[in-house]
Structure formats: structure tokens, C-alpha cells
Amino acid sequence: MNCEVCQLKELEVESFEIREVLRCILHTIVFHRALGLIRPKDIDLELFEITYVQCGEIEVEKKIDEKIEQFINWIEKHPNKKSQICLSFYEVKSKQPSWFTNKIERLYWEQWYINLNVLQPAKPPVGKSHHSKLVMDPGEASEERSSRRTLLEQSLQEVLFQIIKFVNEKKDHVPPINDGVIYCPFEITIPSSSDSAFGMDMFKRILHSGHPSMLG
Amino acid sequence: MSSSHNRSNNNSEGAKAEQIIFEFFAKSLHIILESRTPFMSSRNFSGDQMICSPSSSSSSSSSVRPRDKWFNLALRECPAALESFDIGRRSSLEPLVVDVVLVVRPLVGDQMNLSGKGELIRNFSGKDYQSGWNSDQDELGCETKNEQIIERWVVQYDNRKIRESVTTSSRRSSSNKLQVMYKKATLLLRSLFVMVRLLPAYKIFRELNSSGQIFKFKLVPRVPSIVEPFTRREEAEMQKFSFTPVETICGRLCLSVLYRSLSDVSCEHSTPMSPTFITDYVGSPLADPLKRFPSLPLSYGSPPLLPFQRRHSWSFDRYKASPPSVSCSPSPTRSDSHALVSHPCSRHLPPHPSDIPTGRRKESYAEEYPPSQDFSPPPSPSAPKHAVPRGITRTESAPVRIPAPTFQPKENVVAPSAHLKLSRHASLKPVRNLGPGESGAAIDKLFLYGRDDFRRHSGVRPSANSSPRISFSRSSNRSFQDDFDDPDFPCPFDVEYDDITDRNSRPGSFDHRGDIHEPLDSSGSYPKKSQDAAVGALVRMLKKAPPLRQDVSESSIPEICWNNNNSNKPAGAHEIAVASITASGIALASKTTADALEELRSYKEMKNHLLLSQSTSNPSSVTTSPFDV
């Protein structure tokens, strides 16, 4: 089975925006992969004038929120870093039983890479040389912030469009709809304690599932 | 054999495919309409499925409508919207075009139309929704210049590629193809669902939906029967997004949208109407101050109680100069109260006062007021007599809830009585300019008047003329009895002078009404305050007055009352009584008090005279004579 990969446009976010941005993106992707009977739920973002859709499954929401919290914790420990979150959809196949192998195998058929550049919020000036600028800061800062926010909103919308386009263009690899399965099983991979470990983890997974597209 | 089998298979597959196509059209339309018709969207219900619209909640989680199963997408039901388009009659080869039109209304001119048209569209009910659509057809004529198509959705089934698709994928089994087609259509519809929320029009929809303000524009989705193609310029202004077509057995399902960018759309936003424009509508609380008050106790706790009552007094006072006009007042409250109580009110008087003390109010009401009576208009100033029955019947029906709020600081009791209380005022006014809010005092005073009147005119208690009195006494009997039964009754009335006097007068009135022959042993229930005591004493004295005339042997009782309660300040008590009476707009009661005192004096004189005459016959007893006055 082919594993389609989508690299989403990088977003520059501040740490307080991570939660909303990730929720929006992850839920939108999962919604497109929830092919069972669902009752969509519209969610208005608080920071942006964007409405995204959830599939309405509590487990999905819980899982996504948990991972986002983990990611935010990781970001706090590793500031100013570009990071990647991977949302992978897989199918579960039972292997031929043998002595030393797991009976259940995950076959990844789609992976979404969400690229975030987490910016540190502008720190208040510390040195005396900046002191004179302090008076002007609030207005400038808010203006800058709002323009940055607008840019991020646009970028986020672009990412959502990107998801829609990808979903539209790539349909063949999506497994057939199974009765009773509300959403395709997925996992969310966040950077672990170190980037290298994250990479290693991904590498191991790729080797394990043996996706040609990932190796390529 | 095998070929015929294949053919039948093909037929059934074809039918299935056709059904999928049809349902795809329907679902697409549903998704678009749902997200473009203000107050029809799932977003109103999306936050929590439990607060879905009736239709949606009824179908929530547990129940699944057949249509929801299509493409595994459960949408909020708007069958009227779908039926109004009647896509069933459409040929599947015909493209389905949905134009989302931004209609800008003239600021003032369309205000009235708004209620007729815009509101219909907002309305949740399918019927109204449908009529909203019909009205849009009218608008096409009159408001075309103010319209702008901001989105054009085109759903079409393209069968030009039949041969190609058949030939390219002829190897696949048709059932498998159907499955794939269905899956792809499902995916496409999910994309559509997300897409409609990303486009600029959704922001307008959101704005229209979320705020309670009236905008000078509205969003109207239309399915034009004749599609006017965009001009080249128009098309250049618009952006296009084409979903990847879904290949079917014999064609492909195409979905595309032309939309205006946000800047184009947002320039159409207008300043919302001032909300005060609406709040002034006829019948609104702002339009009629009286209307506000009945609702106050419902929304608040105890504080509104007193303002509420005072407001009544005030409103009555304001209208006092022409009481009958009040009873005819077209104020919504009154009409409301009328609606609540007037049907019984408009019926005739109880046939005979002898029925009155028996049974419960409702029962007696049912007995006394046959339902076949005329529903007369509110009493006119020239017909105060006629007004009396209304008043009586109102009080008749009112005491079920009225008494407690009038006298007790119990907000939970106050609330439901608001309308009734007003109605009671209205009914009382024509009678004798009675105090409005202080119905206890009013009834009390009315009773006093009644007695006075009775003494002057009839002289016999159960007369036809006395029926108003009796009815009042009946109602007040009941209500006061309720008050006394209520453990909350002794709550301090520490707020209003009026209330104090009300309360003071209550025990007396209770005594009067409760049982006229009841011995005067209820002094323990009198309030401890000196004013209360004074008034209580006065009332008791008044109560004692009539028998004095009939039975000279009881002439000493008033003295006892004075001595027991406030022997020092009978005049003060009298003043209080007068004050309360005048405050309530009753001048008659003071006259009654004066009469009673006068009567007392005459009794005392008589007594003195007798004693003197006795003393003349027996000089030793003169020294023991209890001359107090």
C-alpha cells in the first residue's frame, strides 16, 4: 500500500497559539479521514477568524488534546525551534503468527507533517540602550502583533486549503470505508526528548512498516 | 446466461450509481445551504449536540435519519430547504447551481419588510424557511440592484467522458467501482464541508448568525432555474476552486465554486442597525413602562417586589383621575391580565351571596359562573356598577396567587401574581378608587366602605347590593386566611410605610372577613408595633361598632380595645389610618372611621345617659361609672 505524505506549509506561531493552530489542523485532517457516520462539529477559533470542523468523536478530541499538551510541554523545554508533528494514518493488519513477532502490524498509508516554527514572544527590553524605546513599544508591539496574527491567519487558511487540495487529489490510497469504523486509526508523533531521538523513532517506524515512499 | 447476468448487474449498478449521484447532489446542496442560510446552520448546534434544534437533537447520536447515512455525514435537518428546491425533479445531467447572494437592504425602507422577509429566513422552522425563499423571489424584482453574487457553487454530473472512463476502468468489477466512487464522493463531501467554512462568505454568515443585530445585508442562497453567466469581468474578480472530480461508472461528479475574495465581500459589511430601534416596538417593555414590571419579579429576587408594588400604586395614582380609563387601558399588561383573568371576569356575578362563604374559591366559582356568559368589554366610566362584578370576579380568581405577594415578602410567590395583581387593580378601580397595590388595605377599606354603605343604604347584609362587598370579603377572606396560614406571614415589613399600614389593616380586615362572629381573641396575632397596635385597635373598635347599635350591652367593648392596645393615642391611630387611607386614594374610609368614632361617642353618651339615669335612681353607683370619653 502506498503511503502518501503531505508536508504542510510551515507556520510561524507563538507558543500561546500552538494549541489552537494544532487543533485546527489536526482535526481538519482527521475529519477528512473519519469516513464513518459522523456528526460534524463546527469550532470557531478564538485567536483567528477561522472555523474548522471536528468529526465529533470524543476519543479523537481527547487524543489530539493530549498530544498537543505533550508538544507544548516539549516546546517549553526546547524554545525557538522548528518542530514537526506527524499525523499518521494506518491500517492494522494481523501478521502471520510467529514466535518472536508482534501479531499486529500497522500499515501506514498516509502521513501529514505539520511544520511549526515556534517563536518566542518578544521579550521586554532589558538593557538601558533599549530603555528609550520602551515608551513606543506598546503601540508598535500591538501593531506588529496584529499584523503577525493576520499573517498567521492567512497562513493557517492556506494550510487548510492545502489539506483540502491534498485530500481531493489523493483519494486512491485511502482504505475502503469499513462499517462501524468511524475514523481511520491514527497516531500523532511529536518530537520526543531530542530531535535525534524523534528522527530515530521515525526511522525505526519507517523501517518497521516498510513504506517505500518514506524511504524514498 | 452470463451476459444477461452481467446486464442485470450493470442495470442494478447503474441504478445504484444514479442514486449515489442524486444523493451527492442533495448532500452537496444541503451542506452549502446549511452553511449559508443564517440561523439554519449546524454551527448553532455544533457546540453541543444536546442543544441542537428539535429536529437535530431528536436525531442526535442515538437515532440516525436515513439521509444521514448517505456519505456517513449527519447534517442538521433542513428538509424544507431541500424540498423547496425539489431536486428530485431535476435531471441528474443538469448542473445544480447554488448562488449565494449578498442582499443589501435600504436602511429605512426595508425595515418593515425585514420582519416579513428577513425574519422568515432566520426562522428555524422549515415552513418559514420555505416562505423566506419564496419571498426572495419577490426580492429579485425589487432589490436586484442591491444584490451581489458572492459565491456560485456548481455541482454537475459530467457524462461526456463515459466512454473513456468505461474503457479505462473496465477491468474493475463494477461493485468495486461503486464502492470506490462512494468513498470518493464521501471524501469530496467532507472537503466541501470544510471548504464552505473557509470561504469568505462564511464570515458573513457567521456574523449574521452570531449577533442579534440587524444588518443591512443578508445572505440568501438561491438555486436559480436560469443561470445567468458571469461577465468576463465578474469572473475575473472571482476566484475559483474546483474539487477533484469523482469518477463514476459512466461519468464524473464535478464540484466547483466561484467566490469573491474577502476584501470584496467585506466592503459590503455595514454598520448594524441600532438595536434600540427594535426595542421600541409596540408592546415592548420600553414602549410601555407598565409592561416591564410584571416581568421584573420573574427575573429577579425579592428586591423587585417592593418597587413592583410601588409601581403599581404609582401607576394607579397616575391614572387615578380617571379610574375607568385604566380599566380600559390598552396597555399590554392589562390586556395580558385581561387575557388571564378576564374570561371569568366578564361573566356575571354570583347569583346569590348566600353561596359565598361555602366551599373553595374555584369550586364556588365554577358553580357560580356558568360559562355561557357574555364577554363584555372592560367597564366603562359610566357603568361602575357593571365594573364591580368584573372586579369581584377578578378578585375571585386572583386570590389563588395574589394575596401572598401583596403582603408577604416572598418573591417566589410574587412572580406569578404579577399579571393578576394588575388585573386586580384594574378591577378594583372602577369600584371605589381603591388603593391599587395594597389590595389588603384596599379590600379592608372597601369592606369598611361596604359596611358603611351597607349601613346607610341596605341595612340588610345579604342583599343584592351587597354582593360586591361579599365577594370582596370572600376573596380577601381567602387571601388573608392564606396569609395567616403561611408561616412566613410574620416577616417584618420594614420597608414601606404603605406596607406597614397595609399590614396593620390586615388583621382587622381579617377579623372582619374571617368570621364576623368570631370573638375578639386574636389580639395576640397583632403586630407589636405601637402603630400596628393602634390601627389594630381602631379596626377592632370599628368592628365592634355595628353591634353597639344593635346591642347596647356591648357598648363597653370599644373602650376595652382602646385600653388594651393603645389607650394613650387613639387620635394617633386615627391619623395613621387616615394617612394610609389617603395614601391609597381612599377618602371614604376616613369618613367611616370618623363615623365609627362618632357612633362610639353616641353610644357612650347613651351609656352615660343610662348610667346617669341609673345613678340618679341609685346615687352610690355614680362614682363607679366608667366614664372614659
B68 and B128 together in one domain: yes
Decide if A40 and B202 are in contact by the 8 Å CB cutoff: no
Q: Does residue B219 fall inside a structural domain? A: yes
Decide if B186 and A36 are in contact by the 8 Å CB cutoff: no
Closest CA to A34 of B182, B73, B198: B73
Q: Quick one: average pLDDT of A19-44? A: 93
Structure confidence by residue, pLDDT tens digits, B4-53: 555 666 677 788 888 888 888 888 888 888 888 876 544 444 433 333 33
Q: Which residues of A touch B198 (CB under 8 A)?
A: 50-51, 157, 160-161, 164
**What's the gap in Å between the CA of A2 and the closest CA on chain B?**
16
B336 and B242 together in one domain: no
Over pLDDT 90: what percentage of chain A?
A: 48
Which is it for the CA torsion B163, B256, A52, A114, positive or negative? positive
Decide if A32 and B186 are in contact by the 8 Å CB cutoff: no
Domain span at B36: 10-278
Q: Which of A36, A42, A161 lies at the smallest CB-CB distance from B43? A: A42
B337 and B422 together in one domain: yes
Determine the Cα–Cα distance for residues B580 and B434; give it in Å rounded to an integer. Answer: 12
Pairing mode of beta strands A4-7, B246-248? unpaired
Task: Indicate the SS3 state at residue B478.
Answer: helix
pLDDT band at B96 (very low <50, low <70, confident <90, very high): confident
Pairing mode of beta strands A11-14, A104-119? parallel
Residue to substitute from A163, A164, A178, interface B, most B β-carbons within 10 A: A164
B268 and B295 together in one domain: no
What nine digits make up the cell of A198? 524523534
Q: Which residues of B touch A154 (CB under 8 A)?
A: none
**What's the gap in Å between the CA of A38 and the closest CA on chain B?**
5
pLDDT band at B214 (very low <50, low <70, confident <90, very high): low
Residue to substitute from B190, B193, B207, B257, interface A, most A β-carbons within 10 A: B190
Q: What is the chain A residue with the closest CA to B178? A: A176
C-beta neighbour count of B251 within 10 angstroms: 23
B23 and B156 together in one domain: yes
Q: Return the exposure string of B68-101: e unless at least 16 CB atoms fall within 10 Å of the residue's CB, then b.
A: bebbbbbbbbbebbbebbebeeeebeebbbbbbb
| Residue type present at position B385 | K
CA dihedral B56, B60, B64, B65 (to 10 degrees): -10
Q: Does residue B105 fall inside a structural domain? A: yes
Closest CA to B438 of B476, B470, B464: B476
Strand partners, B239: B259
- Three-point CA angle B216, B220, B221, nearest 5°: 160
pLDDT band at B161 (very low <50, low <70, confident <90, very high): low
Q: State pTM to two decimals.
A: 0.52
Q: Does residue B3 fall inside a structural domain? A: no
**What's the gap in Å between the CA of B224 and the closest CA on chain A?**
27
Decide if B191 and A37 are in contact by the 8 Å CB cutoff: no
Instruction: Indicate the residue among B255, B278, B301 that finishes a domain.
Output: B278
Decide if B244 and A168 are in contact by the 8 Å CB cutoff: yes
Which is it for the CA torsion A107, A112, A113, A118, positive or negative? negative
What nine digits make up the cell of B424? 386586580
Structure confidence by residue, pLDDT tens digits, B289-330: 444 444 333 333 333 333 333 333 333 333 333 333 333 333
Determine the Cα–Cα distance for residues A64 and A183; give it in Å rounded to an integer. Answer: 13
B225 and B77 together in one domain: yes
Q: Which residues of A touch B74 (CB under 8 A)?
A: 37-40
**What's the gap in Å between the CA of A118 and the closest CA on chain B?**
24
Q: What is the chain A residue with the closest CA to B204? A: A49
Decide if B74 and A39 are in contact by the 8 Å CB cutoff: yes
Task: Indicate the SS3 state at residue A101.
Answer: coil
Q: What is the chain A residue with the closest CA to B191? A: A164
| Beta carbons of A79 and A33 less than 8 angstroms apart | no
| Residue type present at position A123 | K
Task: Indicate the SS3 state at residue B406.
Answer: helix
| Contacts across the A-B interface (CB distance below 8 Å) | 91
Region of residue A210 (left: phi > 0; alpha: psi -120 to 50; beta: else) = left
Q: What sections of B528-569 are H helices per DSSP?
A: 530-550, 557-566
Element (H, E) at A96: none
Pairing mode of beta strands B147-158, A51-54? unpaired
CATH code of the domain containing B189: 3.30.900.10
pLDDT band at B227 (very low <50, low <70, confident <90, very high): confident
Q: Which residues of A touch B61 (CB under 8 A)?
A: 39
| Beta carbons of B601 and B591 less than 8 angstroms apart | no
ipTM for the whole complex: 0.86
Decide if A40 and B193 are in contact by the 8 Å CB cutoff: yes
| Beta carbons of B388 and B399 less than 8 angstroms apart | no
* Predicted local confidence at residue B7, as pLDDT: 60
B203 and B312 together in one domain: no
Strand partners, A55: none
| Beta carbons of B545 and B516 less than 8 angstroms apart | no
Q: Which of B46, B73, B183 lies at the smallest CB-CB distance from A174? A: B183
Determine the Cα–Cα distance for residues A75 and A84; give it in Å rounded to an integer. Answer: 11
Q: Does residue B1 fall inside a structural domain? A: no
B338 and B383 together in one domain: yes
Q: How far is CA B314 from CA B186, B527, B583, in A?
A: 67, 27, 11
Determine the Cα–Cα distance for residues B211 and B623; give it in Å rounded to an integer. Answer: 89
Task: Indicate the SS3 state at residue A105.
Answer: strand
Q: How far is CA B408 from CA B105, B437, B493, in A?
A: 53, 13, 8
Residue to substitute from A31, A51, A179, interface B, most B β-carbons within 10 A: A51
* Predicted local confidence at residue A167, as pLDDT: 93
B242 and B324 together in one domain: no
Q: Which residues of B touch A176 (CB under 8 A)?
A: 179-180, 183
Instruction: Indicate the residue among B223, B258, B278 that finishes a domain.
Output: B278
What nine digits make up the cell of A206? 519507517
Q: Quick one: average pLDDT of B601-610? A: 82
**What's the gap in Å between the CA of A98 and the closest CA on chain B?**
33
What nine digits make up the cell of B98? 447554488
Q: Does residue B221 fall inside a structural domain? A: yes
Q: Which residues of B touch A177 (CB under 8 A)?
A: 72, 179, 182-183, 186
Decide if A177 and B182 are in contact by the 8 Å CB cutoff: yes
A3 contact B CB<8A: no
On the question of pLDDT at B543 being above 60, the answer is: yes
Of the ranges A58-72, A137-151, A164-178, B212-226, which one carries the lowest mean pLDDT score?
Answer: B212-226
B317 and B244 together in one domain: no
Residues sharing a CB contact under 8 Å with residue B222, sequence separation 6 or more, in sequence order: B98, B99, B100, B101, B133, B136
Q: Does residue B283 fall inside a structural domain? A: no
pLDDT band at A158 (very low <50, low <70, confident <90, very high): very high
**What's the gap in Å between the CA of A215 and the closest CA on chain B?**
27
A161 contact B CB<8A: yes
Task: Indicate the SS3 state at residue A119.
Answer: strand
Structure confidence by residue, pLDDT tens digits, B330-340: 333 333 333 33
A166 contact B CB<8A: no
Residues sharing a CB contact under 8 Å with residue B196, sequence separation 6 or more, in sequence order: B31, B32, B35, B36, B202
B58 and B150 together in one domain: yes
Instruction: Indicate the residue among B213, B248, B278 that finishes a domain.
Output: B278
B140 and B232 together in one domain: yes
pLDDT band at B546 (very low <50, low <70, confident <90, very high): low
- What would the DSSP string read from start to end of B329-369? ---HHHHHHIIIIIHHHTSPPPS-GGGTTSS-HHHHHHHHS
Q: Does residue B394 fall inside a structural domain? A: yes
Q: Which of A35, A51, A177 lies at the smallest CB-CB distance from B206? A: A51
Task: Indicate the SS3 state at residue B218.
Answer: strand
- Write out B121-187 in H/E/C secondary structure: HHCCCHHHHHHHHHHHHHHHHHCHHHEEEEEEEEEEEECCCHHHHHHHCCCCCHHHHHHHHHHHHHH
Q: Does residue B248 fall inside a structural domain? A: yes
Domain count of the fold of chain B: 2
- Three-point CA angle B526, B527, B530, nearest 5°: 110
Q: What is the chain A residue with the closest CA to B188? A: A168
Structure confidence by residue, pLDDT tens digits, A104-155: 888 999 999 999 998 877 665 555 444 544 455 667 778 888 888 899 999 9
Element (H, E) at B247: strand B246-248
**What's the gap in Å between the CA of B239 and the closest CA on chain A?**
13
What nine digits make up the cell of B618? 341609685
Domains delineated in chain A: 4-215 (3.30.900)
* Predicted local confidence at residue B98, as pLDDT: 87
Decide if A177 and B49 are in contact by the 8 Å CB cutoff: no
Q: Which residue has the higher pLDDT, B147 or B293?
A: B147
pLDDT band at B264 (very low <50, low <70, confident <90, very high): low
Determine the Cα–Cα distance for residues B250 and B166; give it in Å rounded to an integer. Answer: 6
Q: Which of A42, A52, A177 lies at the smallest CB-CB distance from B42? A: A42
**What's the gap in Å between the CA of B73 and the closest CA on chain A?**
5
**What's the gap in Å between the CA of A1 and the closest CA on chain B?**
16
**What's the gap in Å between the CA of B291 and the closest CA on chain A?**
38
On the question of pLDDT at A13 being above 60, the answer is: yes
**What's the gap in Å between the CA of A171 and the closest CA on chain B?**
6
Q: Which of residues 31-50 of A touch B (CB under 8 A)?
A: 31-32, 34-44, 49-50
On the question of pLDDT at B567 being above 70, the answer is: no
Determine the Cα–Cα distance for residues B239 and B249; give it in Å rounded to an integer. Answer: 30
Q: Which of A38, A43, A167 lies at the smallest CB-CB distance from B74? A: A38
Determine the Cα–Cα distance for residues B23 and B188; give it in Å rounded to an integer. Answer: 13
